[in-house]
Every structure is written in structure tokens, then in C-alpha cells.
Amino acid sequence: MSLWNTGDTLILLVAGIIWAGYFMAGIVSNRRSHLQKWPRYRYLIWTAGILCAGVTVVGPLPKFAHHDFTLHMAGHLLWGMLAPLLIVLAAPITLMLRTLPVSLGRRLSRLLQLPYFHCVLHPVIAALLNVGGLWLLYATDLFMLMHENVWINFVIHFHVFLSGLVFTMSIIYIEPFSRRFSFKYRTIVLVTALAGHGILSKYLYAHPPAGVEKPDAETGSMLMYYGGDVIDALLIIVFCYQWYQAARSRVYGQKEANTT
């Protein structure tokens, strides 16, 4: 069985264009004298995010993951958790706004303020789409169906990736969305969502998905639990750092006000 096909080549081409587009946008942005240089570390984060997403849909991993639940779960961690986190940290929407002409940038800004984005980026809605979608996938026959129908497989992968992006953006604020929630509120949602993900991994340990052997399910669910904790820790670190920065700015502002 060949590990590469025409579809893989097309995916690689699209991924390469998206990856290169980010770098081109950075070059254009850096040529504008009134803007600060786009941070170099964001290029590295963007590249890492694209690579994490790419290896889960192209090459040997997705081929073998159809028959190995542990490899499938490794793909889930990369595709649905780590890649979205890295891509959000790369701030592609912000870079796009810096790069576009003023008129187009304003149109994009107005688009981002639509009620639809306010809805899906609500932390509770985003958590339900993300963790709730995983429960629906693994606790029903949907997991078996995704391996039998290519379109169901595509829709599920599309949803898992987008829901991962949306959930990450709803917790850590990097992109310029106007509706924002307090750190305490987001903490409650984040802790609840992480608990839901952990409980699901324990559920799968005891109740393997349809068509998955128990030893494979146990190994895969352990990877989901502990591997998920590692990625969640990265998300928590970024979140707490933002909270610290916001608190420090608030205290500094109060001191400035008291001295005037």
C-alpha cells in the first residue's frame, strides 16, 4: 500500500501555500515603517503548527491510524490540540490585518464583529463544540462510521480542527475580537473543559470505541490523558501569563493615577 497519493500531494501543495503566505504577509508588514517588525518567533510557531497539522493528514500517520487507535489518538493530539494552539499563538488574523490595505482591513474587522463570531467564540459554546464533539465522536458509532465513509471522515476532521482553533481563541486572547470575557470566567470554562477531556479518556479506557480492541483502547486513552495534559499545560501557561500581564498593567495604571 502506497503511503502517498494524489490527494496527499494536493494537501501538501495547499499547506505549502498557506505556510508561505504567512511569511509573505510578514515581509509586507515589515516594510511598513509605522508598524513594529513582526516577531521572528511567530514564524517558528506558525511553521510548527502547520507541521503538526500536516503530519496528521499526510503520510504514514493517517494511513496507519485507521487500524491503530493509539496512532489515531496521537493524531488527535496533534490535529485537534497542539496545531490549533500553535496557529493561534502565531496570530495569523492580526498579521493579515497588518498586511491588507486599509479598506480591506476595515472590512475584515467588521466581519470579525459579526454575531456569528461572537457566538462561536463564547467560551462555553466553544468548549461544547470542542469537548462535546469529542464525546459525540468516541461515545457513539460515529467513530466507526468515520472509517467507513470518506466524507464523514473529512467532516469530522474539519470539525475537530476548527473547534480546537475556536476553543483556543476563546480562552487566550491574541486575535482582535471585540467581545471578551473575564479571566475568572474563562478559568471556570477552561477547568471544566479540561475535566471533560480527561473524563472522556478514562471512559475510553473502560469502554473502547466500536471496532477497537481493549488493549489498543487502553494505550490510546492513556496517551490521550497524559499527552492531553502536556498540551493543556502549555495552554494554561499562556493563559496565566496573559492574566499576570493584565494584572500588572492594572496595578501600574493605578499607581500612575495615584501619583498624579
1 part of a folded domain: no
Structural domain total, the chain = 1
211 part of a folded domain: yes
Rg, Å, the chain Cα set: 20
180 part of a folded domain: yes
258 part of a folded domain: no
Q: Is the pLDDT of residue 1 over 50?
A: no
Query: Mean pLDDT score of the chain, rounded to an integer?
Result: 92
75 part of a folded domain: yes
259 part of a folded domain: no
Stated pTM of the model:
0.92
> Containing domain of residue 30, as a range?
6-252
Count of CB atoms situated within 10 Å of the CB of 107:
12
Q: Is the pLDDT of residue 196 over 70?
A: yes
15 part of a folded domain: yes
Q: Is the pLDDT of residue 3 over 70?
A: no
Alpha-carbon gap, residue 66 to 145, rounded angstroms: 12
| Amino acid found at 132 | G
260 part of a folded domain: no
